[in-house]
């Protein structure tokens, strides 16, 4: 059996720590959450906002810098555009995701404070204290 190098051994210890695994799970869930929020913004929120602003479709908002053309070789050169509508939509995505994360962190902070506030049950008295208590009770009963 081959002996593992200290580097590989240290790497295995690092990977198997709970924090790294928790972080990996958080990244995967965060990516899925980002897709859900992006869909909610593009499919639910922005159409309503566009309708309220007079039927604007934000994904179509752009400034054309150069129109599409055909070059000397007969190939079509696409138009050069600044897609600021898409930028607005991505900004709304970011704001919603940031707000959701803010609320989640705030909730976790409240839960951890409640945990700290609840007093832990005191440990049971030691055997010596229990014995002394029994002696005291016996002496009080003899009176």
pLDDT tens for each residue of 114-133: 766 667 778 888 888 888 88
Residue 101's closest CA among 26, 22, 24, 19?
A: 26
Q: Which residue did the predictor score with more confidence, 55 or 18?
A: 55
Q: What is the mean pLDDT of residues 37-53?
A: 85
In sequence order, the 6+-apart residues with CB closer than 8 A to the CB of 68 are 76, 77, 78, 79
Task: Provide the β-strand partners of residue 48.
Answer: none
pLDDT in tens, 64-82: 999 989 988 889 999 999 9
Q: What is the mean pLDDT of residues 38-56?
A: 84
Could you tell me the end-to-end alpha-carbon distance of the chain, in angstroms, rounded to an integer? Answer: 77
As a whole number of angstroms, the distance between CA 14 and CA 3 comes to 18
- Token output for 130: 């229990």
**Pair type for strands 76-77 and 69-70:** antiparallel
String of b and e for 59-94 (b: at least 16 CB within 10 Å)?
eebeeeeeeeeeeeeeeeeeeeeeeebbebbeebbe
What is the structure's pLDDT at 116?
67
């Amino acid at each position: 059996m081959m002996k593992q190098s200290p580097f590989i051994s240290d790497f295995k210890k690092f990977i198997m720590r709970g924090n790294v695994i928790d972080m990996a799970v958080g990244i995967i869930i965060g990516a899925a959450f980002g897709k859900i929020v992006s869909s909610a913004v593009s499919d639910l929120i922005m159409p309503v906002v566009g309708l309220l602003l007079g039927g604007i479709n934000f994904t179509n908002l752009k400034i054309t810098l150069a129109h599409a053309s055909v070059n000397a070789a007969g190939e079509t050169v696409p138009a050069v555009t600044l897609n600021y509508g898409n930028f607005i939509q991505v900004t709304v995505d970011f704001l919603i995701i940031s707000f959701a994360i803010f609320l989640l962190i705030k909730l976790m902070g409240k839960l951890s404070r409640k945990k700290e506030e609840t007093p832990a049950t005191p440990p049971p008295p030691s055997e010596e204290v229990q014995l002394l208590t029994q002696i005291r009770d016996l002496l009080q009963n003899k009176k």
